[in-house]
Copies of this chain bind each other. A is one copy, B any other.
Amino acid sequence: MDSLRKLFEPKSIALVGVSRHPEKMSHWLIRNVVRAGFDGSVYPIARGEEEILGYRAYAGLEQLPGPVDLVLVSVASKEVKRVIQEASGIKASVAVILSSGFGEVADERGKALQEEILGIARRSGMRVVGPNCLGVYNGHKNLNGTFLAEPPAHKGKISLISQSGAFMGVLVNEMNSREVGLGKFVSIGNQTDLRHQEIIEYFGNDEDTSVIGLFIEEVKDGRGFLSVVERVSKVKPIVIFKAGRTTAGRRATLTHTGSMAGDFAVAQAAFKQAGALTADTTEDFFDSLFALAYNHDRLPKDDRVGIVTISGGPSVVATDFCGEVGLRVPELRPETQEKIRGYVPFFSAVSNPVDMTVGIPLSNLGPCVDALMSAPDISGAIALNWGWDVTEFAEAFVQARNRYGKPIVAFASENPKVQKILHKNGILNFPAPERAVKAYRGLVEYERVKGKRVSRRAFNSKPSRRIGEIESGKHSILNEYISKEILSEYGVPTCKEWLVQRVADLAEKAEEIGYPVVLKVVHPGLLHKSESGGVVLNVGSEADLVKAAKGLEEKFSQGVLFLVQEYVKPGIEVIIGLRRDENYGPIIAFGLGGIFTELLRDISLRVCPLSWEDAHEMIQEIKGGALLKGYRGTPPADHDALAEVLLRVSELAVLNDRISEIDINPFILRGPDVKAVDALIALSSCEQA
């Protein structure tokens, strides 16, 4: 953390490779440092110069008269190694390498150089930000160590991390034009050393930060990242905008910051699970950050919102959009409507949206808005006004907001006085009705994140005995019988079954299970039993059983093993899967069987270990979830039983590193009776795990 304090609150800065020529970007760097009014020591390093912008220039870092906290490096990529050596030599705390031409380049030399530089820094304990970045900014300490063309105009408590410099620039520009204040930011470029999670942790403890925003191309050490997000998101909202959603997008992150964007669906699910809010577009990201900065201490207690306006069309649009993003615009109770009706012209709308119309007497604006905001019908409001620039409108909302503590966001267009009063009083204005609605939804979401409970449950709590018996050192796909034995160890219910070697022994086991039974062949390397004719369903008698077994022997080979299984009555078929993501560890997947997962990709994902609440969310969030409520006579699925199975599979994966994959398909739900009918577990070799 000390290095991060030196990064954001240095006492002395050396700027390596700055120019005295105002048209060069390396001049902007020192110009920005100087203009921001940095009050520590500033050392320009530039050969052949006496001074730059009033500061004495030095030929090299070794010539400096005092210690250096922060070194900003803006030289050609081939010079960077030498500069880092010098910086390490003088025991600088942090070097920010703004230069490009490293891991983002297609050939391997850039990556190698980057690694070499990192090695040098590590040996001296110096931290490195970048390379290929925009620099570091801290408005509260007058630090602007960036290439920004225009400095951030307003101080605030939004702090930001972005690999991309340009994206950060776009955001700063937007904050300037919408008069939103910035706290700190750092662009970490190729993030060769300093990573998102360290900075999030720092921001979590930073008094000048109340909201954290991240534009991410690649997360390094996914699990470490998630654990920090999980902790910090409980106290400060974290909004994440992740790049690399599509194949073309991943090609773009690779050539941009050398980032391996990874599986987007996994990352997005993991972020949400850890408590981050996720944005889908640049504007969503900005709006969500801004709304949270203004309202993080005044979140709506639920999703019921009032739409209140003097502009009918935009209010219709906002109302529609609430429906699309899952906010309720409840019809107001008769008593609330009656109260409002007392203040508005007869042609006004009072049911919600409340359209007061411009016909409302100015002196009624305050009481009318108060009547709505005080009502228990709604937990916050969206105020809309096109073109009626009367101060009474703005004041009505400011007063009601202060009185009832319910959040308000606004869409105010073409009314400078209204906008100014709202803004001054912390009611944020958005550029379109839908933008205000979506930003409000972010407030509701963060309230949920804060309130979300995490109940952990342990069942077995020790590594699998059965896996321990399997020869280590090689990768293997376990057969159905062994896979289910392992699942059973962790309490996952499986169908009754026996592994039988001799045809002659089948009947006894079938009798024990009860007819009809299912007969399956177990054969090394035979993964798709059904497709290759290795399964006989609905075997009703001993005679049929023997006949079926002989048929299978003929088809496959003498000496195959048989699996004789209870016939599980039809129910809702689901799939439970697991694979090990190299960044986020074991990822559990849940979906409905067949076309839902295979064609519609309707799958919910979570990082293990799951909480009880995560398991329930997984079940609820699939699109075909309605099917779990029962359909055409199938009894509804027992959500608790299913959630417990997900937790048990999660525990199995967490306690057994060798498991690389689990595929339970189908898992059949028939009311409270739930069973794994077919399953497969793959183990990696011990060396891999």
Q: Which residue of B lies closest to A101 (CB)?
A: B347
Residues of chain B within 8 A of A623, CB atoms compared: 600
Given A150-B414, A168-B313, A600-B626, 20 other A-B contacts at CB below 8 A? A100-B347, A104-B347, A105-B347, A148-B387, A162-B313, A164-B314, A164-B316, A166-B312, A166-B314, A170-B413, A243-B313, A246-B324, A248-B320, A249-B316, A249-B320, A252-B316, A255-B349, A255-B353, A281-B317, A595-B624
Residues of chain B within 8 A of A598, CB atoms compared: 631
Q: Evaluate contact between B314 and A167: CB separation under 8 angstroms.
A: yes
Chain copies in the assembled complex: 2
A-B interface, 6 closest residue pairs, ranked by CB to CB distance from nearest: A164-B313, A167-B313, A246-B323, A255-B349, A166-B311, A249-B320
| 8 A Cβ contacts from A158-176 to B | 162-170, 173
Residues of chain B within 8 A of A347, CB atoms compared: 77, 100-102, 104-105, 110, 132
Is residue A475 contacting chain B, with contact meaning CB distance below 8 A?
A: no
Q: Given A313-B256, A347-B105 in contact, is the A169-B386 Cβ separation under 8 Å?
A: yes
Q: Which residue of B lies closest to A626 (CB)?
A: B599
Q: Given A149-B389, A170-B386, A256-B355 in contact, is the A248-B281 Cβ separation under 8 Å?
A: no
Is residue A501 contacting chain B, with contact meaning CB distance below 8 A?
A: no
State the CA gap A309–B331 with chains docked (Å): 48
Q: Evaluate contact between A317 and B243: CB separation under 8 angstroms.
A: yes
Chain A 618-638 per-residue mask, 1 if CB under 8 angstroms from chain B, else 0: 000001101100011000000
Q: Evaluate contact between B413 and A169: CB separation under 8 angstroms.
A: yes
Q: Evaluate contact between B247 and A432: CB separation under 8 angstroms.
A: no
| 8 A Cβ contacts from A598-656 to B | 598-600, 623-624, 626-627, 631-632
State the CA gap A346–B315 with chains docked (Å): 52
State the CA gap A168–B314 with chains docked (Å): 9
Is residue A358 contacting chain B, with contact meaning CB distance below 8 A?
A: yes
Q: Which residue of B lies closest to A147 (CB)?
A: B387
Number of interface residues of A (CB under 8 A): 90
Is residue A357 contacting chain B, with contact meaning CB distance below 8 A?
A: yes
A26–chain B nearest beta-carbon distance, Å = 12
Q: Evaluate contact between A253 and B166: CB separation under 8 angstroms.
A: no
Residues of chain B within 8 A of A556, CB atoms compared: none
Is residue A555 contacting chain B, with contact meaning CB distance below 8 A?
A: no
Chain A 427-465 per-residue mask, 1 if CB under 8 angstroms from chain B, else 0: 000011111000000000000000000000000000000
Chain A 313-356 per-residue mask, 1 if CB under 8 angstroms from chain B, else 0: 11111011111100011010000000000000111010111010
State the CA gap A173–B433 with chains docked (Å): 14
Is residue A215 contacting chain B, with contact meaning CB distance below 8 A?
A: yes
Residues of chain B within 8 A of A353, CB atoms compared: 248, 252, 255
Residues of chain B within 8 A of A119, CB atoms compared: none
State the CA gap A585–B138 with chains docked (Å): 63
